[in-house]
Amino acid sequence: MPAEPTVERADLTALIERVRLRDVGAFRRRVEGGGTGAMIGDLFHTVFVIALTTIFGGLAVLALLVVGAGVVLRVLDDADRGFAVIAGTTAIAVTIFAACFALVAWFVRLGADIAIRDGRLPPNWRRRYRLHRFAVDNGLSYVPEAVGLRRSGVIFTAGRSPRGYDILSTGPGSDFEIGNFQYAGDWRSERALRRFGYFRLRLPGPLPHIVLEARRNRRWFGRSNLPWRFTSKQALSLEGDFDRFFRLHVPEGFEQDALYLFTPDLMVLFMDRASDFDVEIVDDWMYVYSPRPFRMADQRTYERLFAVLDTVGRRTLDRSARYTRHQPPSRYRVPSRLIRSIRIGPIVILGVFVLLLVRRLVMGA
């Protein structure tokens, strides 16, 4: 296994020094094969999608204004002109204006998300050139975009239109990879697009499926950033303050394996260095997820990630190597994957609605 990147060994010059537009243009022409047709087509697609959604938003706003104006006129006709009527009319007008603004913003955002999901927004060629040079200087492989990217981690198994971008790795069959990933959510998602930063590290051998959900980076109402939900039977409590930072999930029957892997010193490293990240161990890979894409052209990103890799990653490699040496081959015949829980909330709501409908029909009859 090749040596993992570290801040001490990494050459960050390409991320710091100024770049010449001439060099960026030459790199762009080399990547695009000397043509600009695809770029113009993508730009036209982006403008068309955003303009179309904005037009629909404008029509919706116009309809809302017409309805609002009718309400205001009705209030003025049916009541004496006084302070209460003026105040009420003003409140209605402000509410309609705010709703119109929010509606237009939502349609513009929807159009931008569609364009980003399809990978049609013009790329930042200055950033791509910096990352290309950074990869060359450090013996890494750089992939600007990977449409349809799939990996074994949980975020790569969700949604539609998966796309990776700004991916750095140690080459084909690599043992280390860092980049950004996005997918389009399904009808249950509150946003049309989900984006993550991630890096993954190959381990010496297969381990049970383990997920650490960080408590610091949770969304509204304590919701996890990960697309999977796990059953409560798979939650394992560890000693000390670890439960204040992470929620640990491990398959039933593999609790002792997790306790062997997560020694007190490793738990301290996770709390000190990786408490803002979700972590997953699946097969012979360790994944670290950020709820926001990494700023790949910023040297501070690598300073932090390489620090996590040099501490948490190195210690996890050591513990997993010891675990693999002490486990018989028959151990892996037992199912060692986490089970995804079923969301019963929508089912309960649908069931209550059906019962109320049946009750109304029966009573009406």
Sequence ranges of the domains in the chain: 37-117, 140-333
Residue 61: what pLDDT? 64
Residue 78: what pLDDT? 54
Residue 301: what pLDDT? 92
Strands 193-214 and 176-184 turn out to be antiparallel
Over the stretch 192-247, which tens digit does the pLDDT of each residue have?
688 999 999 999 988 889 999 998 877 665 677 788 777 778 888 888 889 889 98
Q: If you average pLDDT over residues 41-62, what whole number do you get?
A: 61
For residue 250, what are the contacts with CB-CB under 8 A and spacing of at least 6?
208, 209, 210, 234, 236, 257, 258, 338
Q: How far is CA 76 from the centre of its chain?
A: 50
For residue 341, what are the contacts with CB-CB under 8 A and spacing of at least 6?
229, 230, 231
CA distance 190 to 173: 36
Over the stretch 157-193, which tens digit does the pLDDT of each residue have?
888 889 999 999 988 778 999 999 999 875 444 456 8
Q: How far is CA 150 from the centre of its chain?
A: 14
CA distance 111 to 186: 16
SS3 40: helix
pLDDT bracket for residue 279 (50, 70, 90):
very high
CA distance 352 to 57: 34
Residue 282: what pLDDT? 92
Residue 225: what pLDDT? 79
